[in-house]
Amino acid sequence: MGIELLFLLLPVAAFSGWLLGRGSAKRTHGKDCPPQMNSRYFQGLNYLLDERPDAALDVFIGISELDSESVEIQFALASLFLRRGEVERAIRIHQNLIARPTLSTPHRRQALYALGMDYMSAGLLDRAENLFRDLLNDPVHGSDSHKQLLDIFQQEKEWEKAIDVAQRIRGVKAANMAAVVAQYYCELAEQMLSTSDLGQAGKCLRRAVDWDKNCVRASLLEAQLASRQGLYGQAIRSCKRVEQQDPDYLPLILEPLEQAYQQLGQGSEYRAYLESLVQRHHSPTLVEPLVRLWLKRGDTQRAEGMVRQSLANQPSLQGLSCLLEVVSGQSSDQQWQQLRDVTSRLLQSNARFQCRQCGYQGRSMLWQCPGCKQWNSIKPV
């Protein structure tokens, strides 16, 4: 028997000792012990020690009379099975508890919530959803039920249901949910854009901004929507709004911003705006596209001076790679080109985005972290 099982059985063993003590006390006062309670629990305990969980489960479920202490032992046993990955056995215990008409209201709600978590573990999300909905107004389990429902709807991409549940949250947590609800509306907007329902996409984005005026994702999607409608001036304004919302996301606006300016035949305006961004933020990620623009214009001296200044202000592998690209373009020396290739491969192997909460790293932008499940926590490196 594994060490984990021994530790998990400690609550059962402790309760068995309590039964003995209670029985001894009652005999001292001339009273009988609980009928069959002691022997049935000891029998179930022996089955567990012999690693016969099904037999033990039948015994514990078959006990007809339960008091508060024995109910807690049933919860402990269900937790034991759940930790061992035996979800079906945990479900049986919690279902049996709920079916008992004499179970107290607090214990019934505890069993309902535990059964919902069992269903989550088993992937039975529809059943879990029904239980958590019934517990939304429960003073003890209501908050956790909100959280579990949101988790279910996010897994199933049921964004309208997620919005409905999030709007019911009250108190301090409600304020923290505003940015999350904005992300739900952005998810809906992306679905609408994928089906070319541009009108509904616009409505969803307006709701996103209503919830969170600093929602960078909404601004980026508004730029995408405007470009699809040929409104390139509006797309530019949406992109530029990101600087005030969160400048960490500025690298994400460069491509759509350049395309919008090109559509308007205003390449020089794009270059001027990019120069102003570099002056305000000094980010190597912003310097690189500006250097490329100067190289296209044949002004290698200005491009090299800009990237050297960037390296002096903020040394980075990206800045070094950019400098080597400028230098190797002016020289026929193979060593410069080899160095450029090496740094380029190093950059390609590095993560481009990182979660500020759990440290998750990836090559593509995700608005919800796969690691910690937080929204708005992943940013460009």
Torsion of CA 262, 266, 269, 273, to 10 degrees: -20
CATH number of 3-157: 1.25.40.10
Per-residue pLDDT tens digits for 353-365: 999 999 999 989 9
Residues with Cβ < 8 Å from 80, sequence gap 6 or more?
5, 8, 9
Query: Among the listed ranges 67-71, 77-81, 140-144, 274-278, which one has the minimum average pLDDT value?
Result: 67-71
Distance CA(126)–CA(322), nearest Å, equals 52
Between 289 and 3, the higher pLDDT residue: 289
- 287 pLDDT band, cuts 50/70/90, is confident
Residue 274 contacts residue 287 (beta carbons within 8 Å): no
pLDDT at 286: 87
Strand partners, 355: 378
Per-residue pLDDT tens digits for 32-77: 444 445 566 666 666 666 666 667 666 666 665 666 767 887 888 8
Distance CA(108)–CA(75), nearest Å, equals 11
Chain Cα centroid distance, residue 152: 12
Largest distance between two CA atoms of the chain: 105
Between 377 and 172, the higher pLDDT residue: 377
State the average pLDDT for the chain.
Answer: 83
Identify the three-state secondary structure at position 298. Answer: coil
Tokens 């797309």 belong to 235
Rg over alpha carbons for the chain, rounded to the nearest Å, is: 31
Distance CA(23)–CA(34), nearest Å, equals 7
Q: Mean pLDDT, to the nearest integer, of 249-275?
A: 95
> What would the two tokens of residue 205 be?
């984005």
Q: Mean pLDDT, to the nearest integer, of 162-186?
A: 85
Torsion 264-247-349-342 (CA) sign: positive
How many other C-beta atoms can be found within 10 angstroms of the C-beta atom of residue 296?
A: 11
Phi-psi region of 212 (alpha: psi -120 to 50; beta: other; left: phi over 0): beta
